[in-house]
Structure 1
Amino acid sequence: MSADPHSDDRTSANAEALRRILATEPVLAGIATAGEAMGLAEGELGHAGAPFSGPDEIPHLVLNALAGAAVHEGWAGTVAEARAQIRDGRIRLRCNHDLGTVSPMAGVVRPSQRVMRVENRAGPGVTFATLAESGRRALRFGVYDAAAAEGLAQIDDVVAPALERALPGAGLAVLPLVADGVAQGDDVHQRNVGGMAAFIRALPDLDPAVRSWLFSNPQHFLNYAMAAAKLCLDQAEGVAGSSLVTALTRNGATCAIRVAGTGRRWFSAPATVPVGGFFPPYALADAQGDLGDSAIVEAYGLGGAIAHAAPEIAQTMGRDWSEAAEDGRTMRALYIGRHPLIAPALCGIEGVGAGLDAARVVAGGRPLRIHTGIGHRDGASGWIGVGVARAPLACFAQALSALGETV
């Protein structure tokens, strides 16, 4: 007899959730504004992570990014005025996952910005990818100045239209590009060189100037991979009794997850501070608490979950290769299945995991590895490093407890 009376039911539920995840075929299908695509209204902004408990919980980095977005939309004349509007609720905040999108770091989404539609070629489901701007001093890292504003305008007015013109009529499948990148050493979180090259090869009619811009900004590819991962994981939402993780995100104050069997309920714990490689002159004391929707790729089975297949990013993060390899192989055991398409040589016969199981995380007793960018906690200095954060065990334990009450 099983020690857990729900284990057989959970096994069946997890198998069904994983079937839905792996049956999804994300395709880049066109460009729209966030307002049109997601119903984001004037005076509303999206942000990364679970909802904040109140304005005092919003880190400086995120508050400055939100305020910069409000100024860019024309809702305030200065960043200071916009911060006041956010604090007193005149500007409404919504979490990206509930809008149908995911975005890195502060993850701010504003109504007029251009986003990429990501459709499920194999069935229902749509998500939207934000288009990442370039540079270390960018809005997603809390910086809004003349250069950041120019970068946002370039994305909306130059990059987005060029991408829309270059997309094939039937759309562009994302997962083959991800598989190509992983085979070339990408973790598909902090290294996206191979994925970006595959993306550009797939768009032969792309404007040469935009092609050059993309080659110099490979992290732009991350946003498409994130939205594809969300689309796949969303298909498992609502599978009763399933303990598979469908969302993993951080807002700078908390780290939070969702699992299939409890729908859109968040389970959260304090965010950790990333450690890793810092750009001089910055150091650990400058680091913002872990931040961004980008950990959706770890929930899908990439990023820190394939640390043992991405030696170059370990070096960039200043982490010992033996640590990265051990963490990656340890994380592989937390997934109930094997991805049928993504198969880097360094992962060996076990391949890349699919179906992150909250029950396995709790049983393993080790916080989950997340590869992440590091922003300065002052909300003004921008991107200061690349490192490793940890998703607290408490998030997964809470979810498992809730499942025990509802199975």
Structure 2
Amino acid sequence: MTTRNSPSPLPDANAGANRLAVERIIATEPVLAGCELASSALGLADGELGHAGPPFVSFAEIPAPVLNALIGAVLHEGWAGTRDAARSLIERGEIRLRSNHDLGTVSPMTGVVRPNQTVMRIENRAGAGVTYATLAEAGRLVLRFGFYDDKVAAGLDHLDRVVGPAIERALPAGGLPLLPLIAHGVALGDDVHQRNVGGMYGFVRSLAQLDNPVRAWLLDNPQHFLNYAMAAAKLALDRAQGIAGSSIVTAIARNGTVCGVRIAGGGSRWFTAPASIPDGGFFAPHSRANAQGDLGDSAIMEAYGLGGAIAHCSPELARLMHQEWPAASAAGQRMRALFDVSHPVIDPVLAGPAGVGLGLDARKVVAAGEPVRIHTGIAHRDGATGWIGIGVATAPVACFEAAVHALEMS
């Protein structure tokens, strides 16, 4: 399938650039190596907060879940004593907001990152590169969905003071390789975006010295594994960043207002279009009418070839998202056609002979004329109700068209 906006045939030089980008992605070996404070790891100073997705152009663009999460972070850091005072600091620009991708991390949903929180270090054991994973909270009323109260504050402190350090103490010598755990999860039916049951079981099993209370907490919250997988995917895709002429996608992220993509040949530039409204399985009594525009850095998983790109490999997730299996499977197969090569490590039986794709090519997205499928959590748009479901959103074709156009003009 082609469209009126299909790109011109790929020149040999561009094909070579794409091959180089994919080779660098494949060569990356992400390993969980320890934990640090975000202030030192990411260079976040007092009065600065990270957030998911491309930067906001103005205060008016910040949707309610993100604004409430930012307010909660300001309160948690002790920079203001009331919600109104915290909001005023943000509105006046006295709190500097920074895109997580530019900081060297990725975080789900609102993605708000504070200087004094614990982040987990992910290193490339095959060469240069470091990224950081945030620690995912448990439950539906949590900061990443825009909710903050005393219970949420206690949960954040538990992550920073108990969970992160316990995982660090339990790491094997030399760190914990993450790609085999991701592959194990996919073999057990994970999409490694909205289903992470197999990945979490493998993660906990690999930490033989883990404290029993933390082990139990992790097993009760398998979605916590997503954050490590996200950082691993970013580490690999960042290795392709800056390759002139390459149309390989290195990031997809959403801030609740826009969805943005980056390509290897586009440097740090975001190519954006309005964020889609997700649909799928909602927790009663909620429906799509309550849904916030798509949020989070977690579509890095789709950029890496997982999540919605392997919808045909995760039948249990399709059921939970209220997706008919034949349609979900067919969508996953269409997504596979947008990638340049097969993943050398992740190869579940349900993927069939084509395997799992690696190297999402913006040119192929434009030529197909079909948006990239994203498996996502859904936040209530009021910014107070929290997590209301899981479902399917899309990265609009317009993002990829803008990226390809810029590449052709460069």
Give the TM-score taking structure 2 as reference length. Answer: 0.98
Cα separation, 1, equivalents of 2:9 and 2:391: 40
Which residue in the other structure is 1:281 paired with? Answer: 285
Q: CA deviation at 1:44?
A: 0.1
Please state if 1:216 is matched with 2:220. Answer: yes
Displaced runs of 4+ in structure 1, greater than 6 A?
none
Q: CA deviation at 1:9?
A: 1.4
Task: Give the aligned residue type for 1:391.
Answer: A
Which residue in the other structure is 1:33 paired with? Answer: 37
Match runs of 1:233-244 below 5 Å: 233-244=237-248
Aligned pair partner of 2:392 in 388, 394, 399: 388
Cα separation, 2, equivalents of 1:380 and 1:368: 29
Secondary structure in 2 matching 1:116:
strand
Aligned pair partner of 2:27 in 13, 23, 26: 23
Cα separation, 2, equivalents of 1:69 and 1:4: 46
Please state if 1:143 is matched with 2:165. Answer: no
Aligned residues: 404
Match runs of 1:184-199 below 5 Å: 184-199=188-203
Please state if 1:367 is matched with 2:382. Answer: no
Please state if 1:115 is matched with 2:123. Answer: no
| Unpaired runs of at least 5, structure 1 | none
| Identity rate, percent | 64
Which residue in the other structure is 1:339 paired with? Answer: 343
Secondary structure in 2 matching 1:257:
strand
Task: Tell me the alpha carbon deviations over residues 282-334 of structure 1, each in whole angstroms, 9 at most, x when there is no partner.
Answer: 11110000000000000000000000000011010111111110110000000
Task: Give the aligned residue type for 1:158.
Answer: V
Aligned pair partner of 1:272 in 269, 276, 279: 276
Task: Give the aligned residue type for 2:272.
Answer: S
Aligned pair partner of 1:174 in 169, 178, 195: 178
Which residue in the other structure is 1:319 paired with? Answer: 323
Task: Give the aligned residue type for 1:86.
Answer: I
Which residue in the other structure is 1:96 paired with? Answer: 100
Give the TM-score taking structure 1 as reference length. Answer: 0.98
Q: CA deviation at 1:6?
A: 4.9
**RMSD of the alignment, in Å?**
0.8
Q: CA deviation at 1:354?
A: 0.2
| Unpaired runs of at least 5, structure 2 | 1-6
Which residue in the other structure is 1:164 paired with? Answer: 168
Task: Give the aligned residue type for 2:362.
Answer: A
Task: Tell me the alpha carbon deviations over residues 342-365 of structure 1, each in whole angstroms, 9 at most, x when there is no partner.
Answer: 011100111000000000000000
Task: Tell me the alpha carbon deviations over residues 166-222 of structure 1, each in whole angstroms, 9 at most, x when there is no partner.
Answer: 011201000000000000000000000000000001000000000000000000000
Which residue in the other structure is 1:60 paired with? Answer: 64
Q: CA deviation at 1:5?
A: 6.5
Task: Give the aligned residue type for 1:344.
Answer: P
Which residue in the other structure is 1:153 paired with? Answer: 157
Please state if 1:76 is matched with 2:107. Answer: no
Which residue in the other structure is 2:306 paired with? Answer: 302
Aligned pair partner of 1:260 in 254, 261, 264: 264
